[in-house]
Amino acid sequence: MKKRIVLSAIITAMGMLFAINGCVSTRVAEKSGSELWSDNCIRCHNAPASSVYSPDQWEAVAMHMRIRVGLTEVETKKIMEFLKAGN
């Protein structure tokens, strides 16, 4: 009984998510650095602003996050360029 409630709650939630996100179908690779930054860098922690690190430091951090999070190479490059340019 409890399992069925949990299951239907999950299915309903998934349905709602697809409804909210259904209209977005841009290819990830076509997105800009700033868009990728705001999409991705809020998923686990608050997104850091570009002023937090120097361009050189961003290179190390971007590599760290690429490996830890499993970001694609293109995403990582674009986000890193966006953060480095803000300095």
Partner 1 sequence: MNMKTFTLLTTLFAISSSLWAQNTSTEETNSSGNSGDTKFVLTGYGYSGMTIEGKGKEQKSTFGETGFAPIFIWKASKNLFFEGEVEFILLGEGLDIELEYANVNLIMNKYMTLRAGKFLSPFGTFQEKLHPAWINKMVSKPLGFGHGAVGPDAEIGFDLRGGVPLGSSKMNYSLYVSNGPILRTGVEEENEAGMLEYGNIVDNNKNKAIGGRIGFLPFSNSSLEIGVSAQTAKGGNNDSIFFYNKKNNAMDALEYNNIGTKSYALDLSYVKSLAFIKGTLDIKGQLNNVTVDKADYADLIDSTKYSFKNVTQSYYVQLAYRPNMLRNKFFNKTELVGRYSALKSPEESKWGEEETQLTIGLNYWASWRSVIKFNYQITQNGGNESEPAILIQFVTGF
- Which residues contact ligand HEC by CB under 6 A? 40-41, 43-45, 48, 61, 64-65, 68-69, 71, 79
Judged by beta carbon distances under 5 to 8 A according to partner kind, the member of partner 1, ligand HEC, none in contact with residue 79 is ligand HEC
* Closest among 30, 47, 46, 43 to 83, alpha carbons compared: 47
Q: How far is the CB of 60 from ligand HEC (least distance, A)?
A: 7
Identity of the amino acid at 26? T
CB burial string 59-81: b at 16+ within 10 A, e below? eeebeebbeeeebeeebbebbbe
Which residues of this protein are in contact with partner 1, per CB under 8 A? 13, 17, 20-21, 24-29, 31, 38-40, 42-49, 52-53, 56-57, 59-61, 63-64, 66-75
